[in-house]
Amino acid sequence: MSKRRKRLEQDASTPPSSLTGTAQLLSEMAVATLDLHGFTTAQGRLRLQDFITTHSRISAGSVVHVITGKGTGSEGPAVLLELVRDMLNDEAADQVDEYSGMLGGGGWVIRVK
């Protein structure tokens, strides 16, 4: 048997490593998505609080997405991206198990408690 074939057989017998932490969170399918495009800060705060509260009750342990956009269309700095991060660390912290920014920016991936 050739060296290459032996190496391929060894690689195939090794089980794939399981994802953990942020990689696992980002790879899971979301059960719901909240799109905050076009909302004001006050509207976004209310919608996010309702969304997190609802999904922590009906789908605890699941992953949800919150889309904020990157803020390139707003006049001045992006406000929704920071608003969501601040709420996840403060007001909604007791309902959130873990969270991470979406790849490419513009939103958050959240595991609710």
* Alpha-carbon span 80 to 45, nearest angstrom: 9
Tally of structural domains, the chain = 1
Per-residue pLDDT of the chain (113 residues; tens, 9 = 90+): 555 665 656 555 556 567 778 888 888 999 999 999 989 999 999 999 999 999 999 999 999 999 998 877 777 778 899 999 999 999 999 999 999 999 888 999 999 99
Cα 103-78-28 angle, rounded to 5 deg: 25
Quick one: pLDDT at residue 10?
Answer: 57
Q: Is residue 4 part of a domain?
A: no
Task: Give DSSP secondary structure letters for 1-43.
Answer: --HHHHHHHHHHHSPPPPP-HHHHHHHSPPSEEEE-TT--HHH
Task: Give DSSP secondary structure letters for 53-70.
Answer: HHHHHHSTT-EEEEE---
Domain that holds residue 53: 16-112
Q: What is the CATH number of the domain that holds 32?
A: 3.30.1370.110
Quick one: pLDDT at residue 41?
Answer: 92
